[in-house]
Structure 1
């Protein structure tokens, strides 16, 4: 594991080396300075400024409402807390689907206006031309196949994808198309572990799983989910590493009690 400690900054080259050395890649989301600083100090490899901020930060039902301006705003805040991790930014809905030229301009805007290291796009063969255009000018692109949250209305549910032979073949072809277009990594979301293992073995670039089993080259979770802050959302692929919602509830109630009963502030806490 020493190779990982030698990286002063995680880059696309670092991630490729981790895959080749069979060292798992770690990734989490962040939308603010304090969280990003904690994740970076702990040693996380990738911090994704995800469009999931639409759900866990803004309270929306889907990722669709979040805008380019909002993604850029949050990325600027996140970047101030990061020294080592690679910062990847989700390109929001309709910032790249219209045509490759608009996608190219929006990806360039993210890279120019923030200290991000890469952008992430959802889709496979249908966006391969777009990925190629963006990567050819030196902007690293992370792909995303399987369940695509920005396409949730076409699916009708958040059920796992790739369970049928036909769909598994299509997802595999999508992942390969992204690699051929120049993507440096691919997120596999909510696909069977057997399929994720097959795709990971076929690709030279790293795969990052979320609900895709243990055979991917790395894993990503939404930070508020794994910290137990989002108590209303607990799919089978999320493991609680803390129960911060309960701890915060206890702390806030104690604060309320201390204030109302004259226990806070004390003389030592006053000027």
Structure 2
């Protein structure tokens, strides 16, 4: 059952599509009810990314995400948000085999979360899957360039658009995603000039992450942006806060007060009122 908080006032996939060339589209990832609630009024789009496998579950790559994991976090974000367009990632293994598999997985995500769209990685290789999902009435966001689900196959996180062959492949991927009916496409880890050219080349909005300021929108992983990342922060991230230090300081002060018996104090316990 889809969460209760979804409303008819939400930004939809078509609203995002119409933003091509306009005011930049603000996107962030979200994985939980409180985060969805806090970010909802500030962004246009919340992505329940498969990065949740790394950020919240401690996996080394996004390949640790499952369909059940994405649905559970998608439901939480939908409960917490009321305005933003919520897009849920399709995890590795849930769509690559065939268009039929892709449709079944997308239908389950859509039905069980109530999200506005799904996202999958790939270009030419998944264009038939995108077209099949769109034909079922489920909006799709594409994802080209650096594709985290393919890092093991690619031998690591490698920036795209450095060679002419790769640039031509990126343009083919962007065209295939657009032709298949996606309403927008993420461009990740791609040389700035190439991402800029891709944005001008296609008619659907591009959402950059480690790409170009010329993209129609930008997205970051929320934990990277607020300083909660445990491991190395990617070069393309700007940290707007340092919550790790705030949390560590609060925990240290709490521990000191518990050990000194300063906490709980008189105002934190219940006493008979005589």
Q: CA deviation at 1:137?
A: 1.5
Report what 1:235 is aligned to.
234
1:147-179 deviation per Cα after TM superposition (whole angstroms, max 9, x unaligned) = 111111111121201110110110111011101
2:185 aligned counterpart, secondary structure: strand
1:28 aligns with 2:40: no
2:18 aligned counterpart, secondary structure: helix
* TM, length-normalised to structure 1: 0.94
d(CA) in 2 for partners of 1:117, 1:33: 17
d(CA) in 1 for partners of 2:29, 2:130: 22
Gaps of 5+ in 2: 1-7
d(CA) in 1 for partners of 2:111, 2:18: 27
Work out the number of aligned pairs and report it.
263
Gaps of 5+ in 1: 1-6
d(CA) in 2 for partners of 1:231, 1:150: 20
Q: CA deviation at 1:231?
A: 4.0
Report what 1:4 is aligned to.
none
Q: CA deviation at 1:260?
A: 1.3
1:67 aligns with 2:103: no
1:144 aligned counterpart, secondary structure: strand
Is the CA contact 1:225–1:233 (under 8 Å) kept in the aligned structure 2? no
Q: CA deviation at 1:234?
A: 1.4
Q: CA deviation at 1:8?
A: 4.2
Greater relative contact order, per chain length (Cα 8 Å cut-off, separation 6+): 2
Alignment of 1:69-218 (within 5 A): 69-218=68-217
Is the CA contact 2:103–2:136 (under 8 Å) kept in the aligned structure 1? no
Report what 1:264 is aligned to.
263
d(CA) in 2 for partners of 1:78, 1:99: 28
* TM, length-normalised to structure 2: 0.93
Q: CA deviation at 1:30?
A: 1.0
Is the CA contact 1:31–1:75 (under 8 Å) kept in the aligned structure 2? yes
Report what 2:13 is aligned to.
12
2:178 aligned counterpart, secondary structure: helix
Is the CA contact 2:88–2:119 (under 8 Å) kept in the aligned structure 1? yes
1:19 aligned counterpart, secondary structure: coil
2:64 aligned counterpart, secondary structure: coil
Q: CA deviation at 1:204?
A: 1.0
Report what 2:5 is aligned to.
none
1:50 aligns with 2:49: yes
1:85-106 deviation per Cα after TM superposition (whole angstroms, max 9, x unaligned) = 0110100001000111011111
Q: CA deviation at 1:17?
A: 2.8
1:127 aligned counterpart, secondary structure: helix
RMSD over aligned Cα atoms = 1.2
> Which range is displaced more, 243-252 or 257-266?
257-266
